[in-house]
Amino acid sequence: MAQGSAGAAAAAGTTLADAVRADIGARLADTDAELARRYPGDPGTRQPVHTVYVPADAFGARTVRDWGDQALAALDAHAPDAAALAAVLGLPVGRSTGLAAEVHDRVRAKLEREPVEDLRIDFEDGYGPRPDPEEDAAAVAAARTVTAAVADGSAPPYVGIRMKCMEAAVRDRGIRTLDLFLTTLLDGGGLPDGLLLTLPKVTFPEQVAAMARLCEEFEKAAGLPRGRIGFEIQIETTQAILGPDGTVTVPRLIDAARGRATGLHYGTFDYSAACGVSAAHQSMDHPAADYAKAVMQVAAAGTGVRLSDGSTNALPVGPAERVHDAWRLHYGLVRRSLARAYYQGWDMHPAHLPTRYAAVYAFYREGLDASAARLAAYVAKAGGDVMDEPATARALSGYLLRGLDCGAIDAEEVTERTGLGRAELHALAGR
């Protein structure tokens, strides 16, 4: 039988000449290169689940620990055990005891171990205009504090600054602050591996191109490898979504960064205000927000540029009833973002951390068994009640990797259910 099949294959003929295939390959060579350049895929690194913004004048050596301590105090005061957390957040009936216990324990451990995953020292809206000597001193102090935190192991995995934007009124000030911050980091021993920079209030691609030029010139002057410095683009103007000619701007912004764009961060309140949304209705789930984020999502797909949702300004402070209401709102918004493939967002107050991690951990723990079973069946070619394709296997692997990165699930849990380690998951995820 095997010999017959081999003979049939040997006897099979084709019509097209080899030269035709070679010519097609030659014609598409430039397209192949452009596809690889523009759509390199996921970078394969950890993405933080949130970004915490702290005004530069409020940032210090204990900032991260203080946020963790305040978050723990809020958890102890308003959801001291799993049952209380389940009651506040409405975890699924029938599963609430087990799931809530897992989530509560992991949230508490996270707040003790790593309360902040990504810290942005804010020199923009949260800091405001200051005399130049004051902002100079703050930029240098921030860099020195970051250097010390990296050295003693207390720094969050990702840290950086949000500078002032590229608009004429504040451009020079923003450039100087960026230069001071980066130069002081270098003087202190080098740029941290988790360095992230944020460019706010982008309106035109030329502003992104100017930021890319700044990064390139700094690298040249400092003797750094080309491409060492990247930056996030904050989407908080309507022009960043649609240009004056009616075309979508986001792809142009990514292209203008010349490979340096690391993320697109949606700015809830500036963007909503620019659309004319009244203050009472400015929210991450407003239709104007959903439209902007859908455009961002499509534009960034496959480029390796990550997405971040915005924030809620409803703070969990005051009486227990008010805290619980704010927690339910925040939890629901985070879960909504996760379901829509926005795996990162902003947190504006330490008391947001319990519900940030509760939402993230519940999201990954609820889907652990089903996702692991589907992936195991795919790898084993065992079938099942869902017929998954390679694209779905990539999504399943990416889901498990994100859960591992943030501490929602453990490597042992994944391996036990799938037989796969992190390396195998990375390969399946196409990272």
Three-state SS for the chain is CHHHHHHHHHHCCCCCCHHHHHHHHHHCHHHHHHHHHHCCCCCCCCCCCEEEEEEHHHCCCCHHHHHHHHHHHHHHHHCCCHHHHHHHHCCCCCCHHHHHHHHHHHHHHHHHHCCCCEEEEECCCCCCCCCHHHHHHHHHHHHHHHHHHHHHCCCCCEEEEECCCCCCCCHHHHHHHHHHHHHHHHHCCCCCCCECCEECCCCCHHHHHHHHHHHHHHHHHHCCCCCCCCEEEEECCHHHCECCCCCECHHHHHHHCCCCEEEEEECHHHHHHHCCCCHHHCCCCCHHHHHHHHHHHHHHCCCCCEEECCCCCCCCCCCHHHHHHHHHHHHHHHHHHHHCCCCCEEECCHHHHHHHHHHHHHHHHHHHHHHHHHHHHHHHCCCCCCCCCHHHHHHHHHHHHHHHHHCCCCHHHHHHHHCCCHHHHHHHHCC
418 and 303 together in one domain? no
* 195 pLDDT tier (thresholds 50, 70, 90): very high
Residue 104 burial (CB count, 10 A): 23
Structure-model confidence comparison of residues 80 and 9, the more confident one? 80
The CATH number covering residue 248 comes to 3.20.20.360
pLDDT tens for 21-58 read: 999 999 999 999 999 999 999 888 999 999 999 999 99
Domain end among 365, 381, 401 = 365
Residue 403 burial (CB count, 10 A): 22
Give me the pLDDT at residue 376, please: 92
Give me the pLDDT at residue 387, please: 58
Average pLDDT over residues 206-227: 98
267 and 324 together in one domain? yes
Residue 129, pLDDT above cutoff 60: yes
Query: Residue 296 domain-assigned?
Result: yes
360 and 219 together in one domain? yes
Instruction: Provide the residue range defining the domain that includes 187.
Output: 50-59+114-365
Residues above pLDDT 70, as percent of the chain:
94
330 and 387 together in one domain? no
Give me the pLDDT at residue 153, please: 95
Residue 102, pLDDT above cutoff 70: yes
161 and 190 together in one domain? yes
166 and 182 together in one domain? yes
Count of positions (residues) in the chain:
431
Residue 8, pLDDT above cutoff 90: no
Give me the pLDDT at residue 93, please: 46
Give me the pLDDT at residue 1, please: 46
* 95 pLDDT tier (thresholds 50, 70, 90): very low
Query: Distances in Å between the alpha carbon of 166 and those of 92, 208, 272, 273?
Result: 47, 8, 21, 20
pLDDT tens for 142-178 read: 999 999 999 999 999 999 999 999 999 999 999 999 9
Distance CA 276, CA 271 (A): 9
Residue 428 burial (CB count, 10 A): 22
| Summary count for the chain: helices (H), strands (E) | 17, 8
Structure-model confidence comparison of residues 8 and 366, the more confident one? 366
Give me the pLDDT at residue 4, please: 54
Domain end among 311, 331, 365 = 365
Taken in order 365, 408, 306, 302, is the CA torsion positive or negative?
A: negative
Query: Residue 28 domain-assigned?
Result: no
262 and 326 together in one domain? yes
Average pLDDT over residues 359-378: 95
Q: Which helix (H) or strand (E) holds 103?
A: helix 96-113
Distance CA 329, CA 393 (A): 32
Token duo for residue 109: 């451990």
Domain end among 315, 347, 365 = 365
Give me the pLDDT at residue 98, please: 84
Query: Residue 245 domain-assigned?
Result: yes
Query: Residue 120 domain-assigned?
Result: yes
Average pLDDT over residues 177-196: 97
415-422 long-range contacts (CB < 8 A, ≥24 apart) are 417/368, 417/369, 417/372, 417/373, 417/376, 418/372, 418/375, 418/376, 418/379, 419/376, 419/379, 420/375, 420/376, 420/379
Side chain identity, residue 65: R
Residue 49 burial (CB count, 10 A): 26
Distance CA 252, CA 191 (A): 28
213 and 342 together in one domain? yes
Token duo for residue 76: 């102890």
Distance CA 389, CA 393 (A): 6
332 and 383 together in one domain? no
Residue 10, pLDDT above cutoff 80: no
Query: Residue 401 domain-assigned?
Result: yes
What is the chain's mean pLDDT, rounded? 93
Query: Residue 127 domain-assigned?
Result: yes
Give me the pLDDT at residue 7, please: 55
125 and 168 together in one domain? yes
Token duo for residue 384: 């099942």
290 and 410 together in one domain? no
Residue 372 burial (CB count, 10 A): 22
319 and 280 together in one domain? yes
Total number of domains constituting the chain: 2
Between 10-14, 46-50, 134-138, 225-229, the lowest mean confidence (pLDDT) is in: 10-14
Query: Residue 2 domain-assigned?
Result: no
Query: Residue 393 domain-assigned?
Result: yes
* 76 pLDDT tier (thresholds 50, 70, 90): very high
pTM above 0.85, yes or no: yes
